């Protein structure tokens, strides 16, 4: 394939037709890649459920899938076991404690369902890696598995063909339908949009210490004033506003230092609380190595017949 010629002026309709054709080719390539991933998933699941014969060239990949399948089964059993525990405790505790049983069960099942979703996603990724390893190593597969491997191979070929067609269509225009200055402008706009979004988010959604400072500043303005006349009228019920009169210097000091101290105190308490939570709930390293994330934490109920991955 010869090198693309430098970009030269052309009619807009020709560039537009090439843009639509390249867009269609790229959409086809994306669909083919999705089909390839689906084929690899089906192939990996089938390989994981097929017993190995003799020296297994996919031993490591099979072991990874088996480990994640055990994590999925453990999470499913824990969700069901949590509901059974709630039913048993609901009948044993006093009526005023039943709401805590319900809240505890809902929270526990939310945690286990999140772990289940994560384990299922990791298992699917491991199955795709297993299928890709089988194709890359050119292993002989049974007839039913070879048909699934053929689907993944065909999808890979379609993706490569569509991607090549898009490149050929865009080659006369330097690899892109849009002129180069537009790409440079787009990159600069994107680079500017990121810090702008951070600043806007900080202004629209202030942090908790900033909110505490705003609340304290509002309280100072509603409580104190440097006018004895208006404070007296408000204390008598005439009008609404601050009822405590202080000197002008004291009011300025209160308006400046109290919000600062409130924000600092809020930040300090948040940091201390975060440190205590991490110290209490962070996994502790044992002699055998760090705890696995997919396994049950300390104090969690072990499911009979299952082992933590």
Global pTM reads 0.60
Q: What percent of the chain lies above the pLDDT cut of 90?
A: 24
Q: Where are the domains of the chain?
A: 201-282
pLDDT in tens, 52-109: 654 467 788 888 999 999 999 999 999 999 989 999 999 899 989 999 999 999 999 9
Answer for the pair 178, 232: CB distance below 8 angstroms, yes or no: no
pLDDT at residue 6 greater than cutoff 70: no
Give the model confidence (pLDDT) of 288-301 as tens digits.
Answer: 544 444 444 434 44
Beta bridge pairs of residue 244: 224
pLDDT at 293: 47
> For residue 248, what pLDDT band results from cuts at 50, 70 and 90?
confident
Could you give the C-alpha distances from 139 to 47, 57, 146, 186, in angstroms and in order? 12, 9, 10, 46
**How many CB atoms are closer than 10 A to CB 182?**
11
pLDDT tens digits, residue range 114-160? 999 999 999 999 999 998 888 888 777 777 788 888 888 899 999 99
For residue 285, give every residue at least 6 positions away whose Cβ sits within 8 Å of its Cβ, in sequence order, or none.
291
Number of residues in the chain? 309
Q: Give the rounded distance of the alpha carbon of 195 from its chain centre.
A: 21
Confidence of residue 285 (pLDDT cuts 50, 70, 90): low
Summarised one tens digit per residue, pLDDT across range 14-33 is: 778 888 888 888 899 999 99
CA distance 133 to 146: 14
| DSSP labels, 20-83 | HHHHHHHHHHHHHHHHHHHHHHHHHHHHHTSPP-SS-TTHHHHHHHHHHHHHHHHHHHHHHHHH
């Amino acid at each position: 394939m010869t090198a693309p010629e430098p970009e030269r002026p052309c009619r807009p309709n020709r560039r537009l037709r090439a843009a639509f054709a390249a867009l269609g080719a790229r959409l086809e390539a994306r669909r083919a890649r999705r089909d390839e991933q689906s084929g690899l998933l089906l192939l990996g699941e089938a390989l994981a459920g097929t017993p190995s014969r003799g020296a297994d060239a996919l031993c490591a990949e099979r072991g990874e899938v088996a480990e994640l399948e055990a994590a999925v089964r453990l999470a499913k059993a824990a969700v069901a076991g949590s509901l059974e525990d709630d039913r048993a405790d609901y009948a044993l505790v006093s009526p005023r404690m039943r709401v805590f049983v319900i809240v505890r069960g809902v929270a526990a099942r939310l945690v286990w369902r999140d772990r289940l979703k994560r384990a299922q996603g990791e298992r699917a990724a491991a199955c795709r890696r297993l299928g890709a390893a089988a194709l890359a190593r050119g292993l002989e597969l049974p007839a039913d598995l070879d048909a699934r491997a053929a689907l993944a191979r065909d999808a890979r070929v379609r993706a490569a063909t569509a991607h090549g067609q898009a490149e050929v269509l865009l080659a006369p225009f330097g690899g892109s339908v849009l002129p180069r200055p537009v790409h440079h402008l787009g990159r600069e706009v994107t680079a500017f949009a990121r810090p702008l979004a951070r600043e806007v988010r900080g202004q629209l959604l202030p942090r908790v210490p900033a909110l505490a400072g705003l609340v304290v500043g509002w309280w100072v303005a509603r409580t104190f004033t440097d006018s004895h006349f208006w404070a007296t009228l408000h204390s008598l019920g005439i009008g609404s506003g601050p009822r405590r009169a202080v000197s002008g210097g004291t009011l300025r000091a209160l308006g400046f230092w109290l919000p600062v101290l409130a924000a600092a105190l809020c930040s300090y308490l948040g940091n201390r609380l975060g440190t205590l939570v991490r110290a209490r709930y962070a996994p502790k390293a044992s002699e055998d190595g760090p705890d696995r994330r997919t396994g049950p934490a300390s104090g969690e109920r072990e499911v009979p017949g299952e082992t933590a991955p």
